[in-house]
Amino acid sequence: MPYPSDVTDEEWEILEPLIPGEKPGGRPQEIARREILNGILYVLRSACAWRMMPHDLPHWSTVYLSFRLWKQAGVWEHVNAALRRDLRVSLGRDPEPSAAILDSQSIKTSSVRGDERGFDGGKKNPRQKTVCAG
């Protein structure tokens, strides 16, 4: 019985070309890439430790190594960008966004330049602090 985090056949059709395959001239792949991806998604969805993966999935060290190598190779950024482009096109939008919000944080500023910057409301509390006796 599949886990709720397992990719469906339709999802795998989209993801398969984006996930790296066997290295040319390397040892034949023993574990299907789809099963490795299912293991990665299981850990991400369940928030369990790698070593606590169920035994019917590939060994945790195999799944973790693939996750780490794919992360270092930029596979996840590539997958995210490809899925974003496909979604935008399906919504009738331009494949690439024309704007982005980098940081929307607001801070209190001073009209006088100097060392004091920002605002800490905790320091402006007029009430006396209570001390717990232990």
Quick check: is 4 in a domain?
no
Query: Tens digit of pLDDT for each residue in 51-94?
Result: 999 999 999 999 999 999 999 999 999 999 999 999 999 999 98
CA distance 3 to 36: 13
The tokens for 100 are 């982005």
Query: Tens digit of pLDDT for each residue in 5-25?
Result: 999 999 999 999 999 988 788
Quick check: is 96 in a domain?
no
Quick check: is 47 in a domain?
yes
Quick check: is 81 in a domain?
yes
User: Mean pLDDT across the stretch 110-121?
Assistant: 60
66: containing domain: 9-13+29-90
Bin 133: left if φ > 0, else alpha if -120 < ψ < 50, else beta.
beta
Quick check: is 68 in a domain?
yes
Name residues whose C-beta falls within 8 Å of residue 51's C-beta, 6 or more positions apart in sequence.
60
The tokens for 92 are 């009738």
Number of folded domains that form the chain: 1
Quick check: is 100 in a domain?
no
The tokens for 18 are 């984006």
Quick check: is 34 in a domain?
yes
pTM of this structure? 0.70
Quick check: is 74 in a domain?
yes
